[in-house]
Amino acid sequence: MKTPREFLFDRHRAAEPKLDSLRQKTVARFAKAPAVNSRTRPSAPRSSWRDLLLSLRWHLAGLSAAWLIVLVLNIDHSQAPSPVLAKQNIPSPQQLLTALRENRRQVLELTGARVVAGVLEARPRSEILAAMKIA
């Protein structure tokens, strides 16, 4: 049994003479071309800033457009002055102190803690839970 490689070689064996003649014509054409010496050889292309910018023109145009969109969206179009916040009624320090003391009293009442000589004495959690179950 033939392998796929042998099958392909047999099938395309007729094209081999055509490919050989094409190779000979191509080599002959390059042999007829005049030799290029150092005096007639074109100089290496020099790159300049202009060439660099021309190669990047679409990228720069896209970035410029994006920045223009950002600037347009950041412009404030409203003519009205910014609203001034109304002055709030700030409670006096005495009212704040009274509210804090009341809040502390309520927290102590809920947790069942006691205040002894200005120091907070908390009950164990088990006692608090037992008191909550009873109530």
Here the tokens at position 114 are 């006691």
Spell out the domain ranges in the chain.
Answer: 1-34, 95-134
pLDDT tens digits, 42-60: 555 677 888 888 888 899 8
- Residue 24 has a pLDDT of 92
Q: Indicate whether this model's pTM tops 0.85.
A: no
Q: What is the pLDDT of residue 118?
A: 58
CA-closest candidate to residue 109, choices 123, 97, 119, 98 = 123
Beta bridge partners of 119: 116
